[in-house]
Each structure stands twice: as C-alpha cells, then as structure tokens.
Structure 1
Amino acid sequence: MHEQNNPVDIGKDQIAKYKEPVEELFTSYRFGGKTQSLPELMLKLDPDEQYVMSNVERDTYLAIREGMQVFQGISELLSDKIGLKQKLIATPSSELTGNQEIDRLRGFCHDYATYGASLYVSKKMDALIRAEGVETSEKKADLSDLPLSLDSSQPEKAVIRRLLAPIYAYLLKQAETRKQFESSLAFAVIVKDVFDKYAALALEQKDAYPDLDRHLSGYQFRIMDEFVVLEGYEDKSISAAPAAAQALTFQPIRPEEIVGNRHAKKKISRYVERLVLYDFQRQMNPILELGGLAWTSLYDGLPGTGKSSLFRLAMTLLQERSAQVSVPFTIFTVDQSIKDEYYGKTGKILLQRLSVTQNPAMLSLGILDDIDLLTSSRNDAQGADNDINNILMQYLDGVFTLRRGNVINFAASNKPTGLDDALRNRFNDRLLIDGPTTAEDFADIMLILGGKLFKNNLVRIEKGYDPFATQVSGKEEKSSGSDVAAYMAEEFQKYKGATLLDFGRFVAELKEKNPKITGRSSRAIMEAIKERSADFDLPREWFENRSLYFDQPFETKVQKLIELYEPITPDILFQEAQRYFDSEERFAKTEAEGHVTRGYNSLMWDVQAQIQYYQEQLDQGTQADFARLEALKSLMRDMLRQKEDTIKKALQF
C-alpha cells in the first residue's frame, strides 16, 4: 500500500483493470432465475428510445459501473494490507465456508469498500440531478419493496451482486408495469437513494473491527480524482452542494446600521435589486441590454471602515428581495478556508465554490473578502496562490466567462496593491470605502456601540441631533452628484461638444501617461458610463406586485427599464475616463510608497547595524574606526530628520 500519512489514490488508472469484470457481471446477472443485463434493462426505461440511452441514463450507468470498480479497488488494497489475500490463497477451498477469521477480514474490507463506493455513486447522482436544476430533496424514492441489506462476509462478487440487487429489482418491475415516469430523473433518484442507504448501512459497521482500524488510520483515500475523499469513515470530500444548500449563517443588517459609506450602500442596494430582475425563462437579465449592473465590484478601504458590513447588507437585501418575488438564490464565499495543505486541492476547492454560478436557474452573490490576503502578485505567488490567481482571472474575465446577469461578485481589499494587476483590472467597478467621516457618523457609532446603555438612559448625554437620519441617502438624491468631484464636473464642461474621436484621443493621451490603460480599461470605463445612465432606483411596486414587471415578457421588461435611464452627455465620458486613470494612479502611488518606505527602512536598519557593530568593538576595547562610528551616527540623525521629505521626493513622478 502506501507509507503512513500518504494519500491513497483510487483513480481511473487504478480501477481500469476492473472494468471488464464488472461489465461482465452487469450483463450476466442472475435475478429471478433468469440472466439479466443492466444496460439492456436501462434501455427499456424510455419506451420511445429503446436503442439509445439518454445522457442522464448513460451517466447513471457509468456512475454505477465506476462505483463497483471503486469497490473492487478499495477491497483489493485492504485485502493486501491486512493479509486476507494471503489467507485466501493458503486456505483450501473446502475450508473457506464458515471460516470465522476469513469472514471477519472480508467483512472489514467489504464494509469499507461498500462505504467508499456507495458515497461515490450517491455523490455522482447528486451532481447529475443538480445539473438538471433539481434539488435532490425535491425528489423522494420509495424503497420499501427493494431488497436492501449487506452481508459483507461473503466473497467479493457476492457482495457486489447484493449491492446491485435493488437496481435490477427496480428495473425489472418497471419493465413489467411499463409505468410512465414522472421525470427523466426518476431512475437517477432511485440509484442515489439506494446507495445512500448502503452507505448508511456500511457506516454502522465502522466500530465492528477495533483491532483492524489501525489499517485505515492515517491514510487518506482519494477516490476518482478526489471526487470522494475519506479519512477512515470520515468524509473529507469537497461538498458538491451549491452554496444555498450550505446554509450560510449571517446577521442581517439595515443600511442605517452601517455608519458612513452612503454611496456604497446606495450602490449595493441598486445592484442587488437589479440582480433580482433576472429573467429565468430567457436566462438573461434585461438590465444587461443597457447596463447598470456590475459583474465585479472591488471595495478598497482600511480595516474597520465597514467593508464586511456592506457585504452583510448585500446578503440581507438579496434574501429579502428574492423572498418578495419568490426566486431562488445562493450566496457563496471565497476566503482563506479554500487553501489546503495538499498541492492542487486548493484550486479544486475554489472551482467548486465558483461552480454554483454556472446554474442559470439561480441568482448568485459571491463574496471575496480580504482578496489581497487570498492572492499575491504574479511575481510573488507560489503554488496555491498561483492556482487562485489563475482561476479567479479566468472566472472573472476569461475565454469562457458567460454573463447572464444572474451573478454579482463583491470583493474587499485592505491593500489592493497586493493584487496582481491583471486580477485587479478585472474589477470594473471600484469604490473607496472610507467609513465614518462626519460628526453625525461618529455620534451614530457611539449609539450603536453603547446599545442598551443609551436605551436605558445609563449614558446621560443629550443627543443634539436626529440619530441615524443621515445614514440613508434620500430617494431623490442622484449618485452622480456625490460621485464626481466638483473640480472634475467643472473641468470637463469644455467637453460637452466633443466627438467620440476626441474621446479616443483623450484616452490615448492617458495611455501615454500610464501604459496600464488597455482595452479592458475601456470596458471598465464603459461600465461606469452605463451606471451613470442608470442613475435610478427601481419602483417599489415592482417588487410588491409581480404582475407589474416580473410576470411581463422579456421585451416588455426591457422597455420598462429604458424609460428609467438618463441620456449621457459627452463630458461624462471624459469624466469616467479620468476617474479610471486617477484610480490607477492612486494604486500606483500607493504601491510606490510601499516600495520606497520598505527600501528606506531597510537602509536605516543597515546603518543601525553598522553603528551597533562599531559601538560593540569600541566598548570591548577592540580597535575600532571611531571616525566611522561618528559618521554613521550623524548619518542616522540626518536620515531620521529627512525621512518624510525623502519619501515625498521619491514619490514625485
């Protein structure tokens, strides 16, 4: 087998040799006194197509076959490990029946093999059913008349026949009754429930062999490229369930409970409501026809400025709005928990987290918190960080990225310069989160933190203002007024009569100043322009009465939205291009400041080390360069005095 603590691979290469024996068993199975063939029985599931399996039927057949191959793979490994194979060879066939020691060793091997194989088949069926947009909990199978039992002390083939018995019984009964299926997934559900039951029966035996448990301890069984991962009887598999089924728990929060960040709160509210506009029949969001719904949004701010609270607000609003119009949603997170000690597994965990966004029958909200801690720049990234960078870049804007308008991704960073440039540029919408800034903000914070102390009048101080009144933007307030600095609005008035070519020249000039302005930058600029046009809140009555919007045809929905958009004047194009350029410059300046500060501090430490070296020589009476020591001390004093000026000069570019 493998050395202690090493993974044990049960993959396609390891189980390939069992394919023919398993298929031979499938096609020569004795049931009810007759020879039955599993593929032939499955072909009869659909009376209209008795010579061709559907995709669902084919995938179900392959899952069962691979499950039985996995059974044999695990069984043979354990048989070698505990000495069962040697005992079977050494024991005369006449003495095998009733041999308690051999029966016990068989039971250990076959129970564990049954558990691993059954989990594999069950999870494959679960993934198959979910891929069709159906929750497995919505389907119930009646197993009351199917023969479900285990006798693991029997020879290997006999145990496999016992595992397959309920499958053949169901198919034969179906062939006799010719009853029409309610769903094409009916047989897949039966198979899943059968092997769920077998896994439960095998799990009941986990404490039946205390003297043999050591042969499982310390090993990790990786079944079919880690589709199932077992450590003993503990399932360490990456969950295939979508995030909605993973029951993320969070504390709901209201906008007025988040102090400051008014523009960010308004943006989040609009984004979430526009996400819910998604048309499930057309599998497209009508708002994408004109724009105004970000695919990615990066929040940049110091720790404690409220980024996590803003994410909670997004989750709260999505939960409320989805409930109002009765649409399904999922929330998934990408954080430090995806990193795994085993090479390659981090990428698989991340892919699984992101896979929920491929379901067109579900709204998805992604939270990528502290993304600067999750990834590194390409120059610094190693191993798992490289995997994370590559996967996120392909997911956010890659060859196969498909935007239907049913997904939005929020990310937060305390240090956006820690991100790879290409990854950061995939976040079209960026917002600086500054937290509380006004007198009312800090007063509101004290009321929130003080809680019941204020409510019970244990803090006796006059408020002097209307608490929380400033924390929610008024409905009549337009975001463009607070979103664009006054100097910029005045500066770009001169472009009101400009042409599109003038705009192209302007961006080309920006590119000369910063080569990082690319085609992807143009997309980000256009997304910002679309958002300026979409400067509106959705009518409340749309959510209160489905018939006004959600039950309308797709084209009608688009027309209703068009009426809410505002025209864009030429100066707005120039404003948004300049804002994007300023954002890139801010990132570059922050990054440069970090490099200069680190370099300057390193130089200071070097001088300090030399001072200490010469001082110790002098103190010990050792010959030392006294003049050199005094010169270094003088240099250190000058460096400390001029540190800030040096950094400022270095940053002037």
Structure 2
Amino acid sequence: MKCLPEDPYRLLPQELELIFAVRRGVCLYLSFANWLFDKTGQRDDADGSVDSVPTERLRAKQRFNSTYSLWVMANYLVAQCDLLLKGKDDTHLASVKPNFKFDPGKGFTRDLMLTLSYYADTLNSENSEGLRTVKQSDDILSVSRDFWKTVADKASALFPQTDPNLQIIVQTATFKYNEFVIQGFKVEYQAQAKATVWWSPVKEADIVSNDESVLQLKRLAHRIALYDVDRKMNPMCEFGTVYESVLLDGAPGTGKTMLMKFFITLLSSLSEQVGLQCVVRSLEASQVKSEWFGRSGRLVKEMTEAVTDPQSLGVLIADDVDLMVSNRDEPGTGGADRDILKGLMDFFSGVGTAFRGNYTSIAATNKPTATDDALRQRFVYRTIVRGPQSCEDFVDMTFLQLRRPAKFDLLDVGRGKYAPMSRKKSARVSAELKGTHKGSTWEDIGHYIEEIRHDNPFFTARSVKNALDVVIAKASDFDIPDNWFSDPSTFRTKPWDERIKMIRSLYTVKIDANMIMAALEEQRESEKRYELESYLKPRN
C-alpha cells in the first residue's frame, strides 16, 4: 500500500526502510510462533494443523503463542521506528491512538493477518476533520510507532491471563537478533558497539603554524561542548557559531591530518569534563564502499546517525575526501560512489536532520577540484592549510621531530636568537576580515554580491551563505572560560536564558558591512581558485 500518494511511481526512502523493518518483524513473529508451536506441544495436539482449534487447552496455547510473538514483533518495530526517527524533531509529526480489538488465539497465521490489517487501516486513517493522518514522509514512522506501541501494550496486558506453565517456557530464555535482545518478558535494543577510532593524541603545542585553523577548531570544539543534552540544543546555536562542517584544503604534508587529530583529542577531553560520550567516526573507502546496490549508502547513513546521536557529542572525519568521493562526472564513477555522495550530500545539507549543535564533520583534501563540486560547496567553513612558512616555523618543526633523542641528551644544536617553540601564536581571528569597505550600507552589500555574481555565475546563494557563516564564526572572537566545562555551577546548570546572556557578554566584535564584504571577497577568490584549478586539471 502506498502511504503517500503524491508520488505513485516510487517508494520514498522512509517507506523502504519501514517495509524492510516490517518484513524483519514478520520474520521474527513467524520464528517465535513456530518455536512456541513446538515447545508448547501444539504440533501433537493439532495433528500438524497449525490453525485448527479442537480444544480449549489448544486455544489457550495458541492465544499465548500469538500474544507473545506479536509482543516480540511489536517491540522490535517500535525500536526500529525510534532509530529511524533519531535526531529528528518529532513535535510536529502525526500521532494516533489506535482503537482496535486485540484478541489473538485464532491461529498464528490469522492473528498476524488481522494485526497487519489493523496496521494498514491505521496508516490510512483520517483525523476528525477528514484529512489523512499521514501528511509527510516521517509521519509514516511516527504513526507506525504509535500503532506497534499499542500492540505491545495490549499484548503485555494479556500475559497475566495466560497459563503460568506456558509463561515458564519463555521466562528463563534469552533471544538475540542483532542488537534486539529479549529476556523472558523484557526487551531491550542494545546500541551497536561503538567503533573505536584509534589516533595518537595531538595537543595544541604539537602543531607548528596553521594558527588560524588551530584557533578555529579549538573554538569549535569548545562551543560544541556547551551542548545541553536535556534540552537537546546547544546555546551557541542561538548565535550561529557552531557549524556542521569544515573543509581543510592544503597540499600534502601541510598538517591537515594533525589538525584532525588535534580536534578529536580536544573534543574527547571536553566530553569527559561535561560527562558526555564522544562519538568519532572515520569515513574510509574500505569501510563503506560495497558492490551491493544500496549498501554503501546504508553504511554511510549508519555512520552519520551515530555522529548525530542527540545523547552524545560527535565528529565525522573524512581524510582525503577527494579519494573517497570523486566528481560524479568523472569516468569510472560507480554506484557505490553515487551512494556515498548522496549520503554525504544529505548529511552536510541537513536534510531530515535538525542540527542541534552537538556534532561537526571535518574533511581534508589535497585536490578540492577532484571532489564533487556540489559536495565541496556544502562545507560551511573552508580553510586553507599552508603548513610551516617561516624560519621560526621550520625551527619548531625540527625541534618537535627531535624531541625523543633530546630526552636522552643525544642532541647538540647551538642556540641562536630564536629559541624553539617560543613563537607567540595568534589569539584572534577577526583581523583576517579586514577590508576596504568601511562605512558601507546594506545596498552596498547587495550591489557587491550582484557584481560578484555577474563576474562568476556559479557564485550562488550557497556561496553567499558560506561567506556569512564565516563572518558569524569569526565575529565570535573569544574563548570560552575553562571553568564552564570543569565546574557545572558556573554555566551548565544555570537557566537557559541566563546562559544566553553569559555568552552574549563575551562578544567584543560587532559584524559590520566591511567584514561581510571582506568575507564575500574571500569566498569569491576561493571559488575563482577552484574554477582555475578545475580548468587546468588534466583530462582523460
């Protein structure tokens, strides 16, 4: 049955997910029904006929058989719907209170068919105004969850009325299907074991140069750590200073991977201070590329769902993203590449996900033009990673590489005017947005964007949005006090409105037209560079 009639030619992703979940639920039902059919001796009582009801004793067994099997199936489908709705704002989704007669015991085939007919009626139901209950795709999941929760509750209410000798059969048994675990009359959905990403911890002092990238990643980690798990929202979202994605663009050997490790190390440390789990996922071709149709997309989705879990802090890492996802127009691009690209495009653009400020994603590339253009443009914050540039940078880099022999007095280098690791690092970033447009007005900004657009037709609204996101991030030119994380009473336990005022008091920079136009110019130059590199790229 089509749940949404707007598109009669294909099933929506939510419908496909639900169909597979229902199919697995039916398999669970039949598996338990057949198991109980043998364990309760019904095969002997019914002479091999599953649906015959010759005696009251057999009717009681069939009633328990179907009740327990439907209870298992219903709980499984409730858990599946919860997983599919995870991270989504369900306050505006449809809700139902199904009203149907739950009276199993007519044979497990008939009981299943009757329950599924009630389910179909619920999906096709109308409200008091005569309008369909299911109005949007996610309504299918919320209505399904309500229905199967009702089935589970009705089945639970019947257990006390069943024969205690039958209850003993399942009371001491444990069943497991993937993460779905049943112990007697208790059920739980165990979260998948968190994949551990092993990395060597990197501290700020271990990084040479790339000062602005270090500062921005440091501040992003601190802002994510202010996330309120009870409210499921980050107060920094009110200011727009947490963002979903960062692209590190630089030549090989400039320190992109080091910056990623630094961010993971810092966010992990902060998550321990605030008492939340830090979920880290590393997107690698060997983990997600599959020859099976649709499997790559599913694996990417599992990773992104783990990172966006509203009960934790998270980061998705994609090193060498140009090797992971090539331009869709490139020769040799296969189905797995398109599945991965589609999954990442949905993730970065926030489709179906309410950004709560508890996660981010960091990608790195040596060749940005080798990555799909639309995917590259979806990164909110793009920063150029240049690596060591000055004499002092190279002194520091050499010193850090020789730390181990230095520990054992195996290093003898004369001292000059510059002592290793004494270079003062930048503590501010707003200076990067100095321009020549002081005193400009709203109209000046509009004309400037129009001028850029005329010069480059590919400078779209997304390019403007990315530039403005950079302005917002750089205007937040302050560090979060350390005690806001270490001492809950200083910030995290205060009322929401008070926390907002405390954050506002840290601001010292106001966004002006000059900063906006300078950021637009940076974005313009960035787009020009990508366009030039793409033009000069060798073609097969």
Q: TM-score, normalised by structure 1?
A: 0.57
CA distance in 2, matches of 1:268, 1:496: 29
Alignment pair present for 1:549 and 2:502? no
Alignment pair present for 1:328 and 2:281? no
Secondary structure (helix, strand or coil) at the match of 2:40 reads strand
Return closer, same or farther for 1:165/1:257 CA change in 2, 3 Å cut-off.
same
- Counterpart position of 1:407: 359
- Counterpart position of 1:153: none
The alignment of Structure 1 onto Structure 2 pairs a total of residues equal to: 413
| CA root-mean-square deviation | 3.7
- Counterpart position of 1:532: 474
Q: CA deviation at 1:365?
A: 0.9
Alignment pair present for 1:360 and 2:303? no
Q: CA deviation at 1:399?
A: 3.2
Alignment pair present for 1:456 and 2:408? yes
- Counterpart position of 1:466: 419
Q: CA deviation at 1:22?
A: 6.0
CA distance in 1, matches of 2:229, 2:78: 26
CA distance in 2, matches of 1:39, 1:437: 72
Partner AA of 1:324 in structure 2:
Q
- Counterpart position of 1:143: none
CA distance in 2, matches of 1:293, 1:256: 24
- Counterpart position of 2:171: 169
Aligned residues of 1:305 and 1:436 also touching (Cα < 8 A): yes
Aligned residues of 1:277 and 1:550 also touching (Cα < 8 A): yes
Secondary structure (helix, strand or coil) at the match of 1:555 reads helix
Secondary structure (helix, strand or coil) at the match of 1:37 reads helix
Aligned residues of 2:279 and 2:315 also touching (Cα < 8 A): yes
- Counterpart position of 2:527: 584
What are the residue-to-residue correspondences of 1:61-80 with 2, within 5 Å? none
- Counterpart position of 2:394: 442
Q: CA deviation at 1:322?
A: 1.2
Q: CA deviation at 1:14?
A: 11
Alignment pair present for 1:428 and 2:380? yes
What are the residue-to-residue correspondences of 1:237-248 with 2, within 5 Å? 241=192, 245-248=194-197
Return closer, same or farther for 1:54/1:585 CA change in 2, 3 Å cut-off.
same
Structure 2 residue runs without a partner (length 5+): 1-19, 43-56, 82-107, 110-144, 146-165, 174-179
Structure showing the higher helix proportion among its residues: 1
Aligned residues of 2:210 and 2:387 also touching (Cα < 8 A): yes
Aligned residues of 2:368 and 2:376 also touching (Cα < 8 A): yes
What are the residue-to-residue correspondences of 1:377-392 with 2, within 5 Å? 377-380=327-330, 381-392=333-344
- Counterpart position of 1:283: 232
CA distance in 1, matches of 2:66, 2:21: 23
Query: Which deviations, in whole Å up to 9, do the C-alpha atoms of 1:50-87 show, x marking residues without a partner?
Result: xxx9964764799xxxxx99xxxxxxxxxxxxxxxxxx
Return closer, same or farther for 1:167/1:254 CA change in 2, 3 Å cut-off.
farther
Q: CA deviation at 1:15?
A: 11
Aligned residues of 1:276 and 1:406 also touching (Cα < 8 A): yes
Aligned residues of 2:21 and 2:77 also touching (Cα < 8 A): no
Alignment pair present for 1:510 and 2:452? yes
Partner AA of 2:464 in structure 1:
S
- Counterpart position of 2:117: none
Return closer, same or farther for 1:295/1:456 CA change in 2, 3 Å cut-off.
same
- Counterpart position of 1:346: 296
Secondary structure (helix, strand or coil) at the match of 2:279 reads strand
Return closer, same or farther for 1:167/1:386 CA change in 2, 3 Å cut-off.
farther
Aligned residues of 1:27 and 1:39 also touching (Cα < 8 A): no
Aligned residues of 2:240 and 2:472 also touching (Cα < 8 A): yes
Q: TM-score, normalised by structure 2?
A: 0.68
CA distance in 2, matches of 1:536, 1:392: 31
Q: CA deviation at 1:280?
A: 0.9
Q: CA deviation at 1:402?
A: 2.0
Structure 1 residue runs without a partner (length 5+): 1-9, 46-52, 63-67, 70-127, 129-163, 172-186, 197-238, 600-653
What are the residue-to-residue correspondences of 1:4-403 with 2, within 5 Å? 23=33, 30=40, 35=61, 37-40=64-67, 56=75, 59=78, 168-169=170-171, 190=183, 241=192, 245-337=194-286, 338-380=288-330, 381-403=333-355
CA distance in 1, matches of 2:80, 2:373: 46
Q: CA deviation at 1:469?
A: 2.3
Percentage of identical aligned residues? 28
CA distance in 2, matches of 1:26, 1:192: 14
Partner AA of 2:527 in structure 1:
E
Q: CA deviation at 1:358?
A: 3.9
User: Which one of 594, 610, 614 corresponds to residue 537 of structure 2?
Assistant: 594
Alignment pair present for 1:479 and 2:472? no
Return closer, same or farther for 1:18/1:407 CA change in 2, 3 Å cut-off.
closer
- Counterpart position of 1:570: 513
Secondary structure (helix, strand or coil) at the match of 1:305 reads coil
Query: Which deviations, in whole Å up to 9, do the C-alpha atoms of 1:595-634 show, x marking residues without a partner?
Result: 4xx68xxxxxxxxxxxxxxxxxxxxxxxxxxxxxxxxxxx
Return closer, same or farther for 1:166/1:258 CA change in 2, 3 Å cut-off.
farther
Q: CA deviation at 1:375?
A: 0.6
What are the residue-to-residue correspondences of 1:638-653 with 2, within 5 Å? none
- Counterpart position of 1:560: 502
Q: CA deviation at 1:571?
A: 0.7
Secondary structure (helix, strand or coil) at the match of 2:183 reads helix
Aligned residues of 1:284 and 1:406 also touching (Cα < 8 A): yes
Return closer, same or farther for 1:274/1:460 CA change in 2, 3 Å cut-off.
same
Partner AA of 1:573 in structure 2:
I
Q: CA deviation at 1:414?
A: 0.6
CA distance in 1, matches of 2:264, 2:482: 19
Return closer, same or farther for 1:11/1:313 CA change in 2, 3 Å cut-off.
closer
Secondary structure (helix, strand or coil) at the match of 2:537 reads helix
- Counterpart position of 1:224: none
Q: CA deviation at 1:455?
A: 3.2
CA distance in 2, matches of 1:13, 1:441: 60
User: Which one of 416, 430, 448 corresponds to residue 368 of structure 2?
Assistant: 416
Q: CA deviation at 1:321?
A: 1.0
Return closer, same or farther for 1:23/1:314 CA change in 2, 3 Å cut-off.
same
Q: CA deviation at 1:28?
A: 9.3
Alignment pair present for 1:496 and 2:438? yes
Return closer, same or farther for 1:455/1:344 CA change in 2, 3 Å cut-off.
same
Q: CA deviation at 1:450?
A: 2.0
- Counterpart position of 2:116: none
Return closer, same or farther for 1:273/1:459 CA change in 2, 3 Å cut-off.
same
Structure 1 segments of 4+ aligned residues over 4 angstroms from their partners? 10-29, 31-34, 57-62, 164-167, 191-196
Secondary structure (helix, strand or coil) at the match of 2:395 reads helix
Partner AA of 1:241 in structure 2:
Q
Q: CA deviation at 1:345?
A: 2.3
Return closer, same or farther for 1:341/1:558 CA change in 2, 3 Å cut-off.
same
Query: Which deviations, in whole Å up to 9, do the C-alpha atoms of 1:302-332 show, x marking residues without a partner?
Result: 1111111111101110111111222222111
CA distance in 2, matches of 1:571, 1:260: 27
User: Which one of 452, 461, 465 corresponds to residue 519 of structure 1?
Assistant: 461
Q: CA deviation at 1:564?
A: 1.4
Q: CA deviation at 1:502?
A: 2.0
Aligned residues of 2:224 and 2:357 also touching (Cα < 8 A): yes
Secondary structure (helix, strand or coil) at the match of 1:297 reads strand
CA distance in 2, matches of 1:41, 1:284: 39
